Amino acid sequence: MFEIVARQEMAQGTIISNWVKAPKIAKKAKPGQFVILRANEKGERIPLTMADTDPEKGLINIIYMVVGKSTALFKTLKVGDSYLDVIGPLGQPTHLEKVGKVVCVGGGTGIAVLYPITRGLKQMGNYVYSVIGARSKDLLILEDEMKAASDELFICTDDGTYGHKGFVTDVLKKVLTEHQDIGLAVCIGPVPMMKFCSLMTKEFGVKTLVSLNPIMVDGTGMCGCCRVQVGGKMQFACVDGPEFDGHETDFEELTLRLRSYLPEEKASYDLFQKEHAPGCSCQK
């Protein structure tokens, strides 16, 4: 059993942070890797990236957005409760190297995935520009952490309640134009955001990493559920990724495949909400 030792609600309760006791995983995990969690015997296996780890205390940090039944179920877990399974670390660690100047772009919960990578890049001695965005000010997460992990931090909100009004791509364009010597871009967030960031960096000829989030089952390369097309080749995101070259990724296919179970997911979530109706703040 994997106990939750600290819990925090972010972005008005739409995003939850858990510190979970998993000493073995905490010791091994590297930036970019993820875990698969199951809340209980009937639960789905849900992949979440480790936003941080504390190897001394044996803790890992996951930060997730409540989007459906399983994440809503996770949200009901309190400090002292446990996940039944936490499996990992899975996936390839980010290849961190010194390239000089880099730009890290994060949107929504993608910022949680981006944060350890940004910190890693900075520790390698890179000069880090970061651009993070959310729909509005209340939904922005990890601003302080990202500030500490970057040399320059830019913020955008879709509604202009904080920082630049508009999309992260606007600011990305500005950064890329002003600093032609940027050698690497890391863009993590919703699929459309990653797609448009990649299109933009391609114009500037800047190598780009994205972190793909296809639906997964086992996370060990056994089922093929997480297959994505990268450079015209079938890749399994759970073992070959989750990070891939943004210029080679087929985002359309990923978008379609993420919709595989929309009716089932809705039915499952509705049922869950009915069962957990009173006093639950997670309804959209």
Partner 1 sequence: MTEEKAAPKKEKIPRQKMPEQLPEVRRKNFEEVPFGYTPELAQKEAERCIQCKDPRCVPGCPVEIDIPGFIRLIKEGDFEGSIRLLWEKNALPAVCGRVCPQEVQCEGLCIIGKKDEPVAIGNLERFAADHQRLHGRDILPPKADPTGKKVAVVGSGPSGLTVAGDLILKGHDVTIFEALHAPGGVLVYGIPEFRLPKEIVFSECNYLEKLGVKIECSQVIGRSDTVDELLEHFDAVYLGVGAGLPVFLKVPGEHYIGVYSANEYLTRSNLMKAYDFPNYDTPLVRGKNVATFGGGNVAMDSARTALRMGADHSYIIYRRSHAELPARTAEIHHAEEEGVEFLFLTNPLRFLGNDDGFLTGVECLRMELGEPDSSGRRRPVPVPGSEFVVDIDTAIISIGSGANPLLTQSTPGLALNKWGYIVADPKTGKTMKPRVWAGGDIVTGAATVILAMGAGRLASNSIHDFLTYGW
Ligand X SMILES: Cc1cc2nc3c(=O)[nH]c(=O)nc-3n(C[C@H](O)[C@H](O)[C@H](O)COP(=O)(O)OP(=O)(O)OC[C@H]3O[C@@H](n4cnc5c(N)ncnc54)[C@H](O)[C@@H]3O)c2cc1C
Residues that bind ligand X (CB under 6 A): 34, 44, 46-49, 63-65, 67-71, 109, 112-113, 213-216, 242, 258, 265, 269
Instruction: Provide the token pair at 192.
Output: 């459309």
Cβ-based nearer residue to ligand FES, 52 or 240: 240
C-alpha 36/C-alpha 25 separation (Å) is 11
Q: With CB cut-offs between 5 and 8 Å by kind, which of partner 1, ligand FES, ligand X, none does residue 87 bind? A: partner 1
Kindly state whether residue 87 participates in binding partner 1, applying the rule CB under 8 A.
Answer: yes
Give the alpha-carbon dihedral of 66, 264, 236, 105, to 10 degrees: -30
C-alpha 282/C-alpha 275 separation (Å) is 13
Contact 226, 239 (CB under 8 A): no
> Which of 217, 248, 273, 276 contacts partner 1 by CB under 8 A?
217
Which amino acid appears at position 2 of this protein? F
Burial of 202 (0-12, 13-18, 19+ CB in 10 A): middle
- The phi, psi pair for 55, rounded to 5°, reads -60, -35
Cβ-based nearer residue to ligand FES, 224 or 231: 224
Q: Which stretch binds ligand FES (CB under 6 A): 69-77, 162-170, 210-218, 262-270?
A: 210-218
CB of 19 to ligand FES, least distance (A): 25
Binding site for partner 1 (CB under 8 A): 24-25, 28, 38, 42-45, 69-70, 73, 84-90, 217-225, 227, 229, 234, 239, 253, 256-257, 259-261, 264-265, 267-268, 271
